[in-house]
Chains A and B, each alone.
Chain A
Amino acid sequence: MIAKKNRPYLFIAFLFALGAVMPVLLRQYHLNMLTEIIVFALYAVSYNLLLGYAGLLSFGHAMFFGMGAFTVAVSLIHIPGLSLWGAIGLAIAMTTVVGFVTGGLLLRHKGAYFALLTLAFNALFYAVATKWHTVTGGDDGLSVTRPDLSLGFTTIDMAGLTSFYYFTLVIIGAAIVFCWYFTQTAMGQTVLMMRENEERMKFLGYNTNISRLILFTFTGAVAGLAGAFYTLHFQFCSQSAISVDMTTTVLLMTFVGGTGTFWGPMMGALVYVVLQNYLSDITDRWPLFMGLIFVFMVLFIPGGLTQIIQYVRNLFSGRNGTDKSLAVKEGAS
């Protein structure tokens, strides 16, 4: 039996290996979809750090995603000769600043107030993106071409899907692993305990406001990275990247996957993208299904897919404990 401590590392290695062989197995169409899934997986993971770990329900996560997406698009158009690394770095820097400033304003409130405020700020960013036509392209959006990737000793052509897929897999994969590592650090544990009992954390001498601001900024930057890859993947960026719908998307992914575990939202991203691709072929009432899934999950399966998997696993292993639904809390010990 493998030591329990090593399991996450083996799981990560397994995911990377699986991702590495996918271009051989999948056709162009599905590889495209898989790239999208990986990008959204990071977006959902960053959102879950807020919702699942810190217990902050934000309706404004798309402002970071869209900010990252627009920074890449605008900088690639206006700064000639900008490298791929430069554009991605700019996106992360930009969203870090935005996260820090908005976080300072928004985090003064909690619970439903916080949700309402983040929604209003998201609407503000959306309004700016729509009205500021000269920079963001307004309703028309911005088209970009992926620059080549320079690794110092060699340059890789990024025009093809397969090479971009591997690039996404490595960078986004590394970012997801970093997020996972973050939850294991003292900082990540602080956030988790703050959700459980903030008073006590304050009493123990932690400055909970600063911890929360750091987390908010961090998740914003991570979402910005996901947004940057969103633009690079579609080679196009429109105002929909920064709209409230983009927040709803990530909320649904996270919720469908389950907020209780770190890996749940990634599964949610997979299910969401696949469902959306197939359902929107069959019906144009996709938002109706989205709403129905939402209501159904909230009422009957609040733990998401993770809860179902856990239940099935317990059924087979013969155990009937439900302690696993608190996996996030367990991770703390």
Chain B
Amino acid sequence: MNRLITILGLVCGCVAALAALLFNPLGSVVINAGMGADIYDWSALEFHGVEFDEMTLLGLPLRASGQAFTAAGIESANASIIVLRGPDGEAAALATRLVALDETGNLLRGDLGVNTYTNIYWPNRGSLLLYGYENRWPVIRDNVMGALGQSSESSWLVSALRRDGELSGAVGGSGVLEGIGGRYSETLHPNPAGDGTFAGRISLELSFR
């Protein structure tokens, strides 16, 4: 009887701790851009490298999406060319994005993510260079819950404070966007093509400095 209680206690303790980790209320805070932001839906025209889903972020070689680069120096990075569409569904801008695993993640804080570098070009207007951090813990949590048969979210707000303590935002620009500052936030959702990559929505809240 004592052995059964011991096993039951251990299992319940583990489950409770896992639940506390997954739904950690003290975890990294995600940031949402304010009202009045310019909103674009984006999807990849080209994608190279590994996608940072729950398997990749946890270092599990199972079902990782995308084809990781074989060179050791870039196996935890990806590069893509993406098109941004405005509210009317028309292509509004072209962008490139480089993404690398952030190595300062912490499971206890519910903080596993990637650093993103994005260069957006609006035809005939200007370009914008963005640096941000995405905490993909919400993706992990919902996919774990989904695997357990629970309903999960269809999109995830992932923008969080960068490692330098700043909001994800613009670090440079050209043309009419020269001298622009400001921040942005992003939500991700599975690519409708079903290839395991993400598409998303970016909300840009820019301001002249």
Q: Do A and B bind each other?
A: no
- Chain A positions within 8 Å of B, measured between CB atoms, are none
- Chain B positions within 8 Å of A, measured between CB atoms, are none
